[in-house]
Amino acid sequence: MADRTDTAPGAAPALVRLTDVSKYYGNIRALQGVSLEVSAGEITCVLGDNGAGKSTLIKIIAGLHRHDAGSFEIEGEETVLANPRAALDHGIATVYQDLAVVPLMPVWRNFFLGSEPTRGRGPLRRLDVPFMRETTRTELLRMGIDLRDVDQPIGTLSGGERQCVAIARAVYFGAKVLVLDEPTAALGVKQSGVVLKYVAAARDAGLGVVLITHNPHHAYLVGDRFVLLKRGTMAGSHTRDSITLDELTRQMAGGSELDELSHELERVAESGPDSTPSGPDTPSGTTAP
């Protein structure tokens, strides 16, 4: 396992750093001894199969759950997040897989959902619709997203386009750290590529990105750091220049367990599923009476 990289003297501290973080639900261990670092302008990929602890890790970073052991630092200061609002106040925005959008509302309304600007006072106070429309269009274009019409219901967009709107929204509202929960899980190859393009755009805009995924190929396309989880514990921690895609895939797939499975499958293939050993007294190619 690669050693954690400490902050160089005089350098800005990591935006988020978890050190030996653990989380328990009664007697059930959800996470134990997990460490990761998220720096500005970098993508940290967290990989693992279902049940590896990725969801618990997201909830800790997003302020939904408190960690039970270890340290959680934000820009060098140890922190305990009381709730998701506290995480947002620290510049941590989380985009969940379900996106939490209202499908029948227009794109601009979803872009400002929960943070709608208004104009006027008292009984004349109303939503500033022209500002929301124009800002949504401008911010999406800034991220390279050219929608046909921001008045169309967001439910008419493809899964990849909805993910991109959520990323642009987080950037606009001042996120320093963007946590993405399996953004390509339900997408095809082309749409996955589009989403990864905007994930890279968020990194290039100076954000620190945490990309949760079970796909090592997607992670290796954009990742700078890789943290592998298995059954709530760390199975590996690497920088991009210290591991190849083949080795990352092998470690995520189980390493020696995968080698053993491959050996077993080779034995089955060699023997053949329909092969039946001949009896000791029955010559091959003859039928016993």
Instruction: Please report the pLDDT score of residue 4 as a whole number.
Output: 47
pLDDT in tens, 158-174: 888 888 888 889 889 88
Q: Phi, psi at residue 63, to the nearest 5°? A: 85, 5
- What percentage of residues in the chain have a pLDDT greater than 90? 43
Better-scored residue on pLDDT, 10 or 221: 221
Higher pLDDT, 12 or 71: 71
Q: Give the closest residue to 61 by CA, choosing from 45, 77, 73.
A: 73
In whole angstroms, give the CA distance from residue 39 to residue 4. 13
- Predicted pLDDT of residue 271: 62
Residue 74 β-bridge partners:
16, 77
Name every residue whose Cβ is closer than 8 Å to that of residue 251 and which is 6 or more positions away in sequence. 228, 235, 236, 243
pLDDT attached to residue 2: 44
Extended beta strands in the chain, E state: 16-25, 28-38, 43-47, 69-74, 77-78, 92-95, 118-119, 126-127, 177-181, 208-213, 225-230, 233-239
User: What are 128's two structure tokens?
Assistant: 């500033």
Predicted pLDDT of residue 105: 93
* pLDDT interval class at 36 (50, 70, 90): very high
**Lowest mean per-residue pLDDT among 128-132, 174-178, 249-253, 283-287:** 283-287
pLDDT tens-place string over residues 45-54: 999 888 888 9
What pTM did the predictor assign? 0.79
Class of domain 16-104+174-266: alpha beta
Confidence of residue 184 (pLDDT cuts 50, 70, 90): confident
Confidence of residue 70 (pLDDT cuts 50, 70, 90): very high
Report the percent of the chain where pLDDT is more than 70. 84
Work out the average pLDDT over 233-253.
89
Contact 13, 7 (CB under 8 A): yes
* Residue range 76-93, pLDDT digits in tens: 899 888 888 899 999 999
Instruction: Give me the pLDDT at residue 192, please.
Output: 87
Check pLDDT > 80 for residue 10: no
- Give the per-residue pLDDT at 289: 46
